[in-house]
Amino acid sequence: MGYLNHMRMNRPLRICLLSYRSNPHCGGQGVYLKQLSRALMDLGHRVEVLSGPPDPQLDADIPVHRVPSLDLYNPADPFRLPKPYELKSLPNLYEWLNVSTMGFPEPFLFGFRAYQFLQQNGHRYDVIHDNQSLSYGLWALSRHLPTLATIHHPITVDLKIAVTAEPYFWRKLKQLRWYSFIHMQKRVARTLSHILTVSQCAREDIRRDFDIPPERFRIVPNGINTDLFYPLPDVARDPNRVIVTNSADTPLKGLVYLLQAMAEIRQRRPIRLVVIGTPKPNGTIERLVRKLDLAGQVTFTGRISDAAFVRQYARASIAAVPSVYEGFGLPAGEAMACGLPVIATTGGALPEVVGDAGILVPPRDAKALVVAIEDLLDHPDRAAAIGQQGYQRVHAHFTWQRAAERTVRAYREVIDDYRRS
């Protein structure tokens, strides 16, 4: 009996990963999907991915099942008018009407369509792992298959920050409409027996905002891909270059405060800011760059290749992470893996990632960013030592192999609990 239990506990698993937005260039959820799926495969498990647009960029040996969608947020043709035949399907009609009235139906519809797929194909998997869609379809699946979800952080935080950042009442209402899917996510999350999250801070915030008992959580910190992010000693650093990875017009990311800091520093010394990202045309960030007269000091790279991304880190002297809140903080870990000294805020889980291997400042505090940046620019030896400490911290604590091993332990718990229920 003991031998059979041992074999059952160590046999490879058949895993289905669900992710409604999966491209790694569109945010941390896509990075999580790409890296976790690879690490699970490397441990000997079989992984298949069920994805909505934008499509994931996965290794060729990981099968992807693409969930149908009108793809109305495609940047190549945003908010297009569907053809009449496309609207004969009730889900497609709902998608178009919801988007047309400033809603965000992707999580709900992805879950519905995933449920339809898994009704026919669920027998092929031992466990279903949702990447924060938290849809009613997931709730229905959990009644028939071992199911768990990763919640990177509570979207309630995004909502609060977005509403606070809007100066006009009608724009606040627009944000409330966009984030109306949160009510569904709260209800579904409360029904799940096991929830993965990436930091202690995220667990406490999700527990509070979603009203979930703490014993349902398993903390599995993200890894950092150190095969991709590593120092390039042959690339010369620009002593006055700061880099930030940012969804530029998202208030949550705090780029406004870093731009304000750049405007003050520029008055005393040469300084350059490289933003890995693209600002919204004539959006908050573009307007602020013009208002502060920073066009000569700020460069937006747009979407770039991984190799170009790493070279940008290698050319910079400081990485800034000015976020108001992060459930984990992949940009901080990636910069640390490249040996770059990091200045981050204490927003959310960033102190858990940076630890004592970086400089921490309060969120929403441009003056504190000024002091920290100028201090490191004035003391390059100290900056280099901090960069080395960050490099060592990432390799000691944040690997995708470790994250995958912890995730598999959670899978086996879910499977055992499902069998006993």
Q: Tokens for 205, please give them.
A: 């915030």
- Give the position of tokens 């569907």: 82
The rounded distance, in Å, linking the Cα atoms of 73 and 80 is 8
Report yes or no: 189 and 195 within 8 Å, Cβ to Cβ: yes
- In this predicted structure, what is the pLDDT of residue 5? 54
Each residue's pLDDT, cut to its tens digit, for the chain (421 residues) gives 454 454 456 799 999 999 987 776 666 788 899 999 999 999 999 999 999 888 888 999 999 999 999 999 887 888 899 999 999 999 999 999 999 999 999 999 999 999 999 999 999 999 999 999 999 999 999 999 999 999 999 999 999 989 998 989 999 999 999 999 999 999 999 999 999 999 999 999 999 999 999 999 999 999 999 999 999 999 999 999 999 997 657 888 999 999 999 999 999 999 999 999 889 888 899 999 999 999 999 999 988 998 999 999 999 999 999 999 999 999 999 999 999 999 999 999 999 999 999 999 999 999 999 999 999 999 999 999 999 999 999 999 999 999 999 999 999 999 999 999 7
Helix axes 155-165, 200-210, angle to 10 degrees: 80
CB 103 within 8 A of CB 178: yes
User: CB count, 10 Å around CB of 42?
Assistant: 11
Global pTM? 0.90
- Angstrom distances, CA of residue 27 to CA of 15, 159, 247: 23, 17, 8
Domain with CATH 3.40.50.2000 in the chain: 2-223+400-420, 241-397
Please write the tens of the pLDDT for every residue from 208-265: 999 999 999 999 999 999 999 999 999 999 999 999 997 657 888 999 999 999 999 9
Give which of 139, 153, 125 is closest to 50, Cα–Cα.
Answer: 125
Counting residues of the chain whose pLDDT is more than 70, the rounded percentage is 96
Under 8 Å between Cβ of 36 and 406: no
Tell me the CATH class for 2-223+400-420: alpha beta
What are the φ/ψ torsions at residue 244 (nearest 5 degrees)? -145, 135
Q: In what order do the strands lie in the sheet with 272-276?
A: 298-300, 272-276, 241-245, 318-321, 342-345, 359-361
Over the stretch 111-164, which tens digit does the pLDDT of each residue have?
Answer: 999 999 999 999 999 999 999 999 999 999 999 999 999 999 999 999 998 999
With H, G, I as helix, E, B as strand and everything else as coil, classify residue 303.
Answer: coil
Q: What are the Cα distances from residue 326, in Å, to 87, 258, 348, 389, 395?
A: 38, 16, 5, 21, 21
Please name which of 96, 129, 153 lies closest in space to residue 409, comparing C-alpha atoms: 129
DSSP percent split of the chain into helix, strand, coil, nearest 5: 50, 15, 35
In 3D space, the residue among 417, 412, 330, 399 whose CA is nearest the CA of residue 129 turns out to be 412
Q: What pLDDT sits at residue 24?
A: 64
Whole-number pLDDT of residue 4: 43
> What DSSP line would sit under 134-196, residue for residue?
--HHHHHHHTTS-EEEE-SS-HHHHHHHHHHH--SHHHHHHHHHHGGGHHHHHHHHHH-S-EE
pLDDT, residue 53, reads 87
Cβ atoms < 10 Å from Cβ of 278: 16
Fold of 241-397: Rossmann fold (3.40.50)
pLDDT of residue 163: 92
